[in-house]
Amino acid sequence: MKIGFVGLGIMGRPMAKNLLKAGNSLTVFDIIKTNVDELAASGGVPAASGKEVAQASELVITMLPNSPHVLEAVAGTGGILEGAKPGMILIDMSSIAPAASQEVAKACREKGVKFLDAPVSGGEPKAIDGTLAIMVGGDRTLFEEVKDSVLLKMGATAVYCGDTGAGNTTKLANQIIVACNIAACAEAFTLAKKAGVDPSLVFEAIKGGLAGSTVMNAKLPMMLEGSFAPGFKVDLHIKDLANVLDTGHETGSPLPLTATLMEMMQWLHANGHGQDDHSSLANYYANLSGSSIG
């Protein structure tokens, strides 16, 4: 299939490479030229704009930081819709506000372009090995059309969640749970350290029980090592929590835990940890307690 890919950041690059490995023809664009060059070296065809990507593609994927970036890439000058033919498919795999997904879908309908919102979970490691969890909103028939041939070339699971915006609503729920899990790990293992118990032994003792989780298994070793190279940056999680809070306000959903976590991550951002992995919530507790987990 002739696929286009716009947005070749930490997540987009490995996702695009997995599509190439699956045998697809791939035209790529990113505002950072070195990202495009890296994909070109792997077999991708470089383009100078989203418009050029769309002109060469039957299906275009976007993987961008936030709602304004997606709206500009899709509907802005030189954007995807300028080069799109009626019947083209656009799959936005960015994590954005559900309302923004609905706005993009409307712009696509006006051009005869089919649209799905399909954000992912799993961070850079799962993007690299092609085992992302993909949550999808939009037309169910279209979802079934691209599930095996496209989505499952980048992910281990792809689940239909409902109409347009449902994929991103699901991702917002995911981001609440991930943030709460990381904060709970940071709090619990700081307690263990302060009480004189080896946090690594606590991890071994509890990870197979009810408290165990994928989040703990992925993030606790980083806390123990004091190594926070980003798989998913604090600043990106702040962006997601901002979308959570906005959506909660729009829908009347109470979000007291999310509000607290936002303040904790804002402290990390203000103290130079915004580009660290979100497991660096351990540093927030280290500041409060005077004792690091690692």
Catalytic positions, written as ranges: 171
Task: Give the containing element (helix H, strand E) for 157.
Answer: strand 155-162
CB 197 within 8 A of CB 266: no
Helices and strands, number each (H, E), in the chain: 14, 9
Q: State the chain's maximal CA–CA distance in angstroms.
A: 65
Q: Which of 57, 71, 85 is nearest to 117 (CA)?
A: 71
Residues whose CB is less than 8 angstroms from the CB of residue 110 and which lie 6 or more positions away in sequence, other chains included: none
Strands 25-29 and 45-46: parallel
Report the alpha-carbon distance of residue 263 to residue 260 in Å, rounded: 5
